[in-house]
Amino acid sequence: MTTQSEANQRPISPTLSRTAQSNQSEPNADKKKVNWTQVCEALKQKNFRNHLTHTIERLTELDMISKLRLRVALEDSGWPLRFRTWDSISQPTRPDHGTWPQEDEQALMCICNNSPLSLERVREKFFASRSDEDLTLKYFELMQRSFDGWGPIKDELLYKLVHQKGRSLGDIAKEVAPMYTAYDLEIIYGQMMERRGLLVDDDGGGLYTE
């Protein structure tokens, strides 16, 4: 008859040993796999956000306030498509002569309206796949499209706002026409006055462009 002590000393079957080890290791293996996936995703997101930050920080011609303003504007309006995922950022840049996506058109106007960057610099930092000529033509096309969409109702509103004491075109652009800069509104204002058969006074007639 085998005693309990002898049973405890008897060697364990190799098959039973492997089964026991397998049962113990499977949950840990699943756990490690899930954690590794999460770590990889977290690193991708960190690299993605760092790339956006470095893109703005490398604009050395802008001061800190201008960089912050541009970053906030892009976060609100939308970055160019290339800057919206880590996978697209990490792809090599290839020349693009195709149609501009609406997201890129909107991002182009956002950058130009919220920074003093030259078109050459905008292309270099944000639209490297486009040529200088392509980006310049697209910018002026978008500007013309904006002016063409300015109708009589907006004429009347702009006229009233401009002639409110102390109201600058910069204030008007921020409050009621964020898609335009003060310079854009100055051009539109001049065109509006010509349509009305009026001339702008030499002293500005309440027209402030600061």
pLDDT digits (tens, 9 = 90+) for 47-101: 888 889 999 999 999 999 999 999 999 998 899 999 988 887 777 777 787 899 9
Greater model confidence, 207 or 21 = 21
What are the pLDDT digits (tens) for 112-148?
A: 888 889 989 999 999 999 999 899 888 888 876 766 6
Nearest Cα residue to 96 out of 81, 74, 84: 81
Instruction: Return the pLDDT at 70.
Output: 93
Q: Where does the pLDDT of residue 210 fall: very low under 50, low under 70, confident under 90, or very high at 90 and above? A: very low
Place of tokens 């106007």: 109
Query: What is the pLDDT at residue 178?
Result: 65
Q: What is the pLDDT of residue 111?
A: 92
Q: Beta partners for 43?
A: none
Sorting pLDDT into bands at 50, 70 and 90, what band is 11?
low
- For residues 180 and 171, is the Cβ–Cβ distance under 8 A? no
117: left (phi over 0), alpha (psi -120 to 50) or beta: beta
Tell me the pTM.
0.55
Cα four-point dihedral sign 193, 198, 201, 207: negative
Which residue in this structure is represented by tokens 């909107």? 106
| Exposure class string for 94-124: b at 16+ Cβ within 10 A, else e | eeeeeebeeebbbbbbbbbbbbebebeebbe
pLDDT tens digit string along 164-191?
A: 656 778 777 776 666 677 777 787 788 7
